[in-house]
Structure 1
Amino acid sequence: MVGFLSFLRRLYLVGYNWTVFAGWCQVLYFAVKTLKESGHQQVYDAVERPLQLAQSAAILEILHGLVGLVRSPISATLPQIGSRLYVTWGILWSFPETRTSMLVSSLVISWSITEIIRYSFFGLKEALGFAPSWHLWLRYSTFLVLYPSGITSEVGLIYTALPYIMGSEKYCIRMPNKWNFGFDYFYAAIIALGIYVPGSPHMYQYMLGQRKKALSKSKKE
């Protein structure tokens, strides 16, 4: 019974990783193609649906960690997925004025390359029990450039959205109301920007530690 459950777990994770891998490949293809043919202003329109689907699928990774399907700590997974979902839905989808920014191109290219490498790495590990050494190096090295470019794009897009958030008052809850509760999305965005200040260096240091551990383990093997 245990062996059968282990087989089902691997089968599910193989399917999950390669499905999301295909989604990010689509995002990268459309982004590069549109950037070359039409310019950065059209990139978001070209990648919107596959981007939303691929990024939203990452919610399942939180569940995977909670139920023990994977060993990734929730403390590392949740902030990264949460920030990306916020930018995907809370900024780009909610405020169309941000979509023509050049930062959209750097964002989706940074995200998609990172995720194509990551999902294919875990897809191979679940399917074969290992991944090639060059793939391991890519998995734990490309973030050195792609994480800063992705984070810079996220922060830049949130900042770009601030005047539109303030002007529209979208998602705001004003007092008085029957719940006796107020919420201002503009200040929530300011807080989100503030979280990036300590959060980004912390995550970068965490990933550097993971890189050192993974590559040193690979050398010993």
Structure 2
Amino acid sequence: MAGVWSLLRRFYLTAYNWIVFAGWFQVLFLTLKTLKDSGYEHVYSSVEKPLLLAQSAAFLEILHGILGLVRSPISATLPQISSRLYVVWGILYSFPEVQKHPLISSLVISWSITEIVRYSFFGTKEAFGSAPYWLLWLRYSTFLVLYPTGISSEIGMIYNALPFMKESGLYSVRMPNKWNFSFDYFYLAIVVLAIYVPGIPHLYGYMLGQRKKVLTKTKNA
């Protein structure tokens, strides 16, 4: 029975990783094509659907960790996935005014390259039991550049959306109301920006530690 479960787990995770890989590959292809043909102003409109689908699929990774399908700690997975879901749905999708900003391009390119490498690494590892060293190296090295460019683009997009949040009042709950409750989406965004301050060095430090651990172990093997 354990053998059947292990086989089903590997089949599912292999399929999951390669399907999401294909989604991010499409995002990168459309981004580069649009930049070449039309300019950065049209990047979001060209990638919106595959971007939303590919990034939303990452929610399953939280469930994978909870169910024990993967060994990735929830403490590392949850903040990164949550922040990205917030950016794609709570910022990019919700505020069309920022959808033509130049930072969309750096954001999407940083994310898509990172995820193409990551999902191909795990897809190969699940399918064949291991991945080639060059793919392992990319998995634990590309973040050195792409994490700073991606995270700075995330922060920039949230910051640029702030005036539109305040003006529109979208997702905010004003008093008076029958629940006697108020909520301001603008101030939530401020809190999110503040969380990035301790979150960035924590996650970057964690990834540096993982890189050293994995590459050293591989080199000594």
TM-score range, shorter chain: over 0.9
- 1:124 aligned residue: 124
Report the alpha carbon displacement of residue 154 of structure 1 after superposing the two structures with TM: 0.2
- State the 4+ residue runs in structure 1 displaced beyond 3 angstroms: none
CA–CA distance in 2 between the matches of 1:155 and 1:84?
11
- 1:54 aligned residue: 54
CA–CA distance in 1 between the matches of 2:203 and 2:219?
24
Residue identity matched to 2:131: A
Where do residues 97-116 of structure 1 align in structure 2 (5 Å cutoff)?
97-116=97-116
- 1:159 aligned residue: 159
Q: Does 1:45 align with 2:45?
A: yes
CA–CA distance in 1 between the matches of 2:13 and 2:206?
24
CA–CA distance in 1 between the matches of 2:181 and 2:10?
46
Residue identity matched to 1:69: L
Residue identity matched to 1:196: Y
Residue identity matched to 2:218: S
CA–CA distance in 1 between the matches of 2:71 and 2:217?
17
Q: Does 1:6 align with 2:13?
A: no
Unaligned runs of 5+ in 1: none
Unaligned runs of 5+ in 2: none
Where do residues 187-206 of structure 1 align in structure 2 (5 Å cutoff)?
187-206=187-206
Q: Deviations over 1:61-115 (max 9, x none)?
A: 0000000000000000000000000000000000001110010000000000000
Counting aligned pairs with the same residue, the percent is 71
Report the alpha carbon displacement of residue 180 of structure 1 after superposing the two structures with TM: 1.9
Q: Deviations over 1:27-82 (max 9, x none)?
A: 00000000011000000000000000000000000000000000000000000000
Q: Does 1:33 align with 2:33?
A: yes
Report the alpha carbon displacement of residue 181 of structure 1 after superposing the two structures with TM: 1.5
Size of the aligned set, in residue pairs, is 221
SS of 1:3 mapped into structure 2: helix
- 1:177 aligned residue: 177
Q: CA RMSD in A?
A: 0.5
TM-score by length of 1: 0.99
SS of 1:118 mapped into structure 2: helix
CA–CA distance in 1 between the matches of 2:95 and 2:138?
34
TM-score by length of 2: 0.99
